[in-house]
């Protein structure tokens, strides 16, 4: 639902200011993270175990990197507009 709202209002200033590409990446990988437990249903074999570990690890890594990138962007933006600085 949130991804749909972002896509619907993609040209508004709020979505543009929120770093559209990072927001799309974060929302998609969070969706993948929430769907990852479905991979653990059923009898495990070597192929599904490798798929489970790779998917969970990759999605979690991308989520953490995206959150860190968004946080660094905010820190840089506030550092540039710090009161009393030229």
Give the pLDDT of residue 74.
84
Give the pLDDT of residue 82.
62
Q: Model-level pTM?
A: 0.74
46 within 8 A of 83, measured Cβ to Cβ: no
Q: What is the pLDDT along the chain (86 residues), one digit of tens a residue?
A: 887 888 888 888 887 887 888 888 988 999 988 888 888 888 888 888 888 889 999 999 999 999 999 899 888 877 776 666 65
Q: What is the DSSP string of 10-58?
A: TTSHHHHHT-HHHHHHHHHHHHHHHHGGGGGSS---HHHHHHHHHHHHH
Closest CA to 23 of 57, 55, 80, 63: 63
């Amino acid at each position: 639902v949130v991804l749909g709202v972002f896509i619907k209002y993609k040209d508004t200033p709020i979505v543009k200011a929120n770093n559209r590409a990072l927001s799309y990446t974060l929302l998609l990988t969070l969706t993948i993270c929430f769907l990852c437990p479905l991979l653990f249903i059923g009898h495990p074999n070597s192929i599904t175990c490798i798929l489970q570990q790779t998917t969970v690890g990759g999605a979690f890594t991308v989520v953490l990197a995206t959150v860190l990138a968004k946080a660094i962007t905010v820190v840089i933006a506030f550092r540039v507009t710090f009161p009393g600085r030229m």
